[in-house]
A and B are shown apart, each in its own frame.
Chain A
Amino acid sequence: MIKNIFQQSEKLLFICVFIFMTTLVLRTVSLYGATRTVGAVNFTNHTGSSGLQYLSTALPESITATLSQIKNINVVERGQLTAVVKEIELGQTGLFDEKSVKKTGKILQADVLFIGSYTGNPVEVILSLKAVDVKTGRVLDGKVVKAPLKDLFDSTNQAATSMSAIISGAAIGTLSITTTPDGADIYIDGLPVGKSPIIETKLPEGKHTIKAVKSGFIEAETTITVGKNTRDTWSPYLAESKVRNRTDIGANVYYFIPFNENLKAAPLYAIFLGQSFQRLYMGAEIGYSRIKHDLDISSPFGTLTQERWYDYFLIQGHLTYAPFEINSYLQPYFGIFGGWGYLVDYRKSSTHSDDEEKLSSQHIWSLGPKAGLTIAPFSKVSLFLETRFLFTPQKVERKVYESRGILGGLEEKQTVYYFNAFSIGGGIKLYFN
């Protein structure tokens, strides 16, 4: 009896899980649309020029490559078309009828066929592009692309991409994009769709990331939620980017914070000379810091503090990149630096006339990452804030002294440690151009 109940419960649980999983799958399919298979037959050349004949195969090849990146779309390998092209002769006449489209679609096992013809000359090629539903023979969407030969492939792929929303069978809305100034490259979900203005491009229902990029201007990006049958617009103003090649000199001061507890934080002063190449910047810097590392010595006379310091001279090369501007007044950047330094260890002394005794000196190499923010980067004078992590591959020597009590002078011992440090600071830049 109990066994029977247990078996009944097991069956019930299985049915519940099955129903849940089925619901989940159906919901996913309804949200994203069913996958459609797309093929592209050879396009018809109406230019009269045999030199442009290659476009009849090259353009469909390019379209299928582009569409293969889009979700919910499968593409038919162009190699399979060779078998059917002769039979239906779409490639020769550019004409199609419902019967031949259905036949081709059946052979290719495709839901949608891309059919196209082109005319014009290398200065301006005019391509007529259609997406035809194989089952019904109905033209789902059509575009006319006008572009010089050099831009033809980009423009065609953009047109095919914008047609993909309808092809995929998902619920769609439209989005119009205008930019000031126009002519910006528009990317939707990372794919190029053409230059602005773009009027009522069709997009599947859901969230889409739109980006406008124009050389010499600060790019704009947004996320838009497209609803079923909605009409959205996006009209960003692209601020002029003033990034250009410039030469500069400047000075900075950093608060140098060593990680080793024996070393005290100290200001580090530097001057530099640099050159920017658009967003890339190369510079050379010379700097100096006096870093205290006083030594406490326990003795019969009490704790005696020996005044100690390093004089740190450095020459470094810097390479940074400013990927974007937050606005015209703030420009973040990141980069690396590395170079040579010279570290001289001193202590206060009563037996030397200049009151300081040089204990040792050593060369020290350093490198590390840095990041910062330039304030008013396009002005004649700009300020910047920066943080750095300085890493020294080799250890630094430090003489320490221990008391022998009343039995003579101090005992000298050599210790070593890494000179790694974090620094934060800022400076001023003066541009020559």
Chain B
Amino acid sequence: MKLLKLLSVLYILLFSVVLLNCGGDEEEQPKSPIFSDVEIITLYTPDAIEISSADTSNFKFTFCLPSEVSYAVLGIFYSAVPIETNGNTFTNPDNLIAGSRTGLTGWGRGEVSASNLYEFDNIDDFNENKPFSLSGTYHWAVWGYDKWGNLTHASEQWEVIITY
């Protein structure tokens, strides 16, 4: 009898743990910055993974840039492969498709409108003459430099799905 009670309690505990873990997997975004040995840049929005394409003209990428960051980049990557880095550079730069940075039209410190994104020139910068419209599934992240050009800050990568 006692053994049966004990088994019942263990079963309930085990079930509760499994239930909690499953629920967490579904909505959680990655929590570590895309580069190692850097300070964190906090991302705010869009925190929801799925966004209707009807809303893209209104939504903004928002984030918090610490004061030490003099220059920053918002990068939009194809979502098929997550953003990968080694040291202070990307190992899959071909996945960078668009974004914005300090100095380009529409760049705001801490916010960039989805309508102010530009295509990557496939060399080392965005092409301000080629605006980019979101449509599909992407990863996005923000990284920042100090005033001497050193990569000092980075955010985690978040996924966003633009649905029709």
Contact = CB atoms under 8 A, between A and B. Distances in A.
Nearest to B148: A306
A353 interface: no
Summarize A's interface: helix, strand, loop or mixed: loop
Interface stretch (B11-19, B24-32, B95-103): B95-103
B50 interface: no
A146 interface: no
Contacts of A206: none
A332 to B, nearest CB: 47
Nearest to A298: B149
Most buried by B among A297, A301, A347, A349: A301
Contact of A301 (B96, B99, B102, B126): B102
Given A300-B103, A301-B101, A404 B124 contact: yes
Contact of A300 (B101, B148, B151): B101
B20 to A, nearest CB: 38
Contacts of A300: 101, 103, 124-125
Interface stretch (B56-64, B83-91, B132-140): B83-91
Interface residues on A, range: 20 to 34
A410 B150 CA distance: 6
Interface string A274-308: 00000000000000000000000101111011110
Contact of A406 (B75, B87, B88, B146): B75
Nearest to A294: B148
A414 interface: no
B72 to A, nearest CB: 10
B151 A350 contact: no
A299 B90 CA distance: 17
Contacts of B87: 408-409
B158 interface: no
Given A297-B149, A350-B150, A407 B102 contact: no
A406 B150 contact: no
A431 interface: no
Contacts of B68: 350
Nearest to A404: B89
Given A301-B145, A349-B150, A350-B146, A405 B123 contact: yes
B155 interface: no
Contacts of A407: 89-90, 93, 96, 124
Interface string B95-136: 010010111000000000000000000011110000000000
A406 B99 CA distance: 10
24 contacts: A297-B149, A300-B101, A300-B103, A300-B124, A301-B70, A306-B149, A349-B146, A349-B148, A350-B146, A350-B148, A351-B39, A351-B146, A403-B124, A405-B124, A405-B125, A406-B125, A407-B90, A408-B85, A408-B87, A408-B88, A408-B90, A409-B88, A409-B150, A410-B88
Given A350-B150, A351-B150, 9 more contacts: A297-B148, A300-B125, A301-B70, A350-B152, A351-B39, A351-B146, A406-B125, A408-B35, A409-B87
Interface of B: 35, 39, 68, 70-71, 73, 75, 85, 87-90, 93, 96, 99, 101-103, 123-126, 143, 145-152
